Amino acid sequence: MQFFQHDVKTMAVGYKNCRDVLLEQAADDAQNIRKLQYQHGKGPYNIFILDTSSSLGEQGFTQLKETFIAIVDEYSKHPDIEENVAVIVCGRQTKFLRYYSNQYNDIKRCLDEVELGGPCPLATAFSISQGGLGEITGYSRIMGDFHVRPRLVLISDGKQTDLTDFDSEILPEVETHENSNILLQVTRALGRFHPIFCIPVGENPDLITLEFISAQSRGGKIINSDIARQFARYSKNMRTVSMLSFTMKNDGNDRERIMTSLVCTFPESEFTEMDQDDIFEICSRKPLYCSMEGIMEEIEDEQDLFNERDPNMPPLGSRVRRGRDWQWGNQDRFGPGTVVGHSKKGKLKNLIYLAIVLAYNEL
């Protein structure tokens, strides 16, 4: 397998100059990935960011390796899915360790080349991950009605250090507020289009940071390391959902109907309780897997939300509840909301929850 390596040079410069260097590296990585497309599988794309910094400790480093290997090993058990895996390490060196492939045995051995140590510039790792995310529609995969964007999977204790401190063995005693802000800005931008899954490892991980990173992304969440193998089955369960014989637009939150459809569609198959939970979650979160055009429309609406555009819609300040055509899972937390703006999507104005934004849990 061809393997490219180029470390970011240590630079005592501000974030803006450092960002330019990182974007240049991301462009180089993107070019190398395109050269290696022959080794890509046909399935979804996954970028793993593996924290190998000193703060993890030997026990945390062992836990990280076991978690990563468990996920990749589970991928190998479903060759029909052909998951693509890329690996970025974040520690003594922060770089792509492997570009996308489905050569799982080689991928599992890649950490043999890595030693524990160094700082943890997570913002740097997320910045260079852009080289593996492709253009606007690059590296997306379609499963039925589901548009699956490349996923970012962070396995870390969440203890970010200086963005510009790439090679130093000297760790700062306290993470600065500025570094934390940069990390959240970078992950927020990536999370607009891509899910970020965070797997906490180590003795005392920073769960607040990890939860915030995943929660502000599109469909991301915290994954406990003890269910890593189940997490690796997500694409398989998504393909199952894409083949179900009912209209999820209206029924995606009806668990009984989903399970009935599952049995009818796959009468000879058995699904574990955790698989069933995943299948129900995927159905209820289907709007998260819309096309890029749908995402861009959402962003456009968000930029100009707080206006009362349509006299046929409830005025701003009205109290409302979900209607029968609600299709956004538990985003309303099963409670009432307040109209704070009208959508531009006139074609949907007959559906109250599609044409307004709700402020939740006010009662």
- What is the model's pLDDT at position 331? 61
Q: What is the pLDDT of residues 205-227, one digit of tens each?
A: 999 999 999 998 999 999 999 99
Q: What is the pLDDT of residues 152-169, one digit of tens each?
A: 999 999 998 865 544 444
Give the tokens for residue 49. Answer: 């960011």
| Sheet containing strand 319-320, strands side by side | 319-320, 337-342, 356-360
- What is the model's pLDDT at position 131? 85
- Locate tokens 């978690």: which residue? 67
Q: What angle do CA 179, 182, 185 make, to 5 degrees?
A: 150
Distance CA 149, CA 137 (A): 8
Q: What angle do CA 199, 41, 35 make, to 5 degrees?
A: 100
> Please, what is the average pLDDT of the chain?
81
What type of residue is 356? Answer: I
- β 319-320/356-360 pair status: unpaired
Distance CA 355, CA 86 (A): 39
Residue 201 has pLDDT above 80, yes or no: yes
Query: Of residues 305 and 116, which shows the higher confidence score?
Result: 116
Query: Of residues 231 and 21, which shows the higher confidence score?
Result: 231
Stretch 315-321: mean pLDDT, rounded? Answer: 81
Give the tokens for residue 176. Answer: 């600065």
Query: Of residues 287 and 179, which shows the higher confidence score?
Result: 287
- What is the model's pLDDT at position 253? 67
Reduced to 3 states (helix: H, G, I; strand: E, B; else coil), residue 245 is coil
Answer for the pair 161, 57: CB distance below 8 angstroms, yes or no.
Answer: no
- What is the model's pLDDT at position 315? 81
- What is the model's pLDDT at position 303? 65
Pick from 25-34, 51-60, 340-349 the range whose average pLDDT is largest: 51-60
Backbone phi, psi, residue 172, to 5°: -65, 145
DSSP 255-272: HHHHHHHHHHH-TT----
Residue 132 has pLDDT above 50, yes or no: yes
Element (H, E) at 107: helix 104-109
HSE, side-chain direction, 13 A CA sphere, residue 188 = 9
* Helix%, strand%, coil% for the chain, nearest 5: 45, 15, 40
Give the tokens for residue 319. Answer: 């109290």
Confidence of residue 32 (pLDDT cuts 50, 70, 90): confident
Phi-psi region of 285 (alpha: psi -120 to 50; beta: other; left: phi over 0): alpha
Backbone phi, psi, residue 300, to 5°: -60, -40
Confidence of residue 173 (pLDDT cuts 50, 70, 90): very low
Q: What is the pLDDT of residues 238-247, one digit of tens each?
A: 999 999 875 5
Q: Is 12 exposed, middle or buried (0-12, 13-18, 19+ CB in 10 A)?
A: exposed
- What is the model's pLDDT at position 320? 83
E-assigned strand segments in 134-255: 141-143, 146-148, 151-156, 196-200
Distance CA 111, CA 85 (A): 14
- What is the model's pLDDT at position 363? 37
For residue 224, the Cα-to-chain-centroid distance in whole angstroms is 15
Stretch 42-62: mean pLDDT, rounded? Answer: 95
Q: What angle do CA 242, 239, 127 make, to 5 degrees?
A: 110
E-assigned strand segments in the chain: 45-51, 84-90, 94-101, 141-143, 146-148, 151-156, 196-200, 319-320, 337-342, 356-360
Model's pTM, two decimal places? 0.78
Residue 187 has pLDDT above 70, yes or no: yes
Residue 75 has pLDDT above 50, yes or no: yes
